[in-house]
Structures are given as C-alpha cells and as structure tokens.
Amino acid sequence: MSAGLTLLSVPKTVILIHHPEAKAIVARWLSFATPQFREAAERGFVECGRLGVLSWIVDLTANPGVPSQADLAWVETVAVGLVKRNGVRAIINVHGSSAVTAMGPKRWNKGASDGGLTTYDCHSVSDALALAADVAAGRAA
C-alpha cells in the first residue's frame, strides 16, 4: 500500500490520510480531548462520502486518551448516522498500547454495530488497510 495522501491535519487532534487503493481513510488521532474533536470527525466523514471511502480506520496508536462522556455519546449516535450517510460500511480500530484508550472502541463499537456498521479491531495500520482492501473488494463486510 502507498503512504496515502494527507487530506486534513488538525494540530494536536487528528491527521486524516486517504488510501484510495483500499477505499479507506486513516484517522490518526492524537487527542480526543480537544475542542476540535467533533468538527474534525465530521469533516472526515464528509471526505469519506466525497471520495467513495468504504472504511474509516481509527488509528489509536498515538494513545489519544478517551473522548469526554458527551463526545462519546455523540460518537455512538450522531457520528454513526453521519458515517452511514457518507457511505462508510466498516469501522476498523487500530489499538495503541494504552489500556484506557482501548476501552473507548469497545463502547463505540457497540453503537456502530447497533447502527448497522461492521466493526473490526486490528493491531497495525497495515493490517487495517489490508482489511479495508478486502471490504472494498467485497471479501469482507
């Protein structure tokens, strides 16, 4: 896979990288505890729709912490709808080394699954991109 194309960088929050061959965007989260969290996520979801992305990869390897309770509730409800409206079929989490960071995906995976999205967990971005390519080719949900 290529290194991807940087679409958006919000300082101290997230870097969004498009991988056209996998029909995926990698959201490399630096921190969930910033005022720009929701806006950055929304912009990313819109880019998914614009680019025909099928997989949203949540890269947690920088150990960004956990969203506030209000932001987590937003992720489980509003964000799920935005992701679906923009054509994403799979959410793929890449876990960092922090046990605290790993707790967030367990909770938002339930909201995403309840909302009709398929969720996956991977140990590396390269594994997540390979899975995203399978999603794009119809070999995975």
| Domain-wise residue ranges, the chain | 5-136
Separation between Cα atoms, residue 67 and residue 32, nearest integer Å: 5
Tokens of 132: 């995203």
Tokens of 72: 């987590």
Separation between Cα atoms, residue 13 and residue 35, nearest integer Å: 9
Check residue 117 and give its pLDDT.
82
Separation between Cα atoms, residue 21 and residue 1, nearest integer Å: 7
Torsion of CA 83, 32, 106, 73, to 10 degrees: -60
Residue with tokens 């995976």: 109
Check residue 102 and give its pLDDT.
53
User: CATH code for 5-136?
Assistant: 3.30.750
What sign for the dihedral angle of Cα 123, 129, 134, 135?
Answer: positive
Bridge partners of residue 14, in order along the sequence: 10, 29
Task: Sort 123 into a burial class: Cβ within 10 Å, 0-12 / 13-18 / 19+.
Answer: exposed
Helix, strand, or coil (residue 96):
coil
Check residue 127 and give its pLDDT.
95
Separation between Cα atoms, residue 62 and residue 47, nearest integer Å: 22
Q: pLDDT tens string for the chain (141 positions)?
A: 678 999 999 999 999 999 999 999 999 999 999 999 999 999 999 999 999 999 999 999 999 988 899 998 898 889 999 999 999 999 999 986 655 555 555 556 666 677 778 889 998 999 999 999 999 999 986
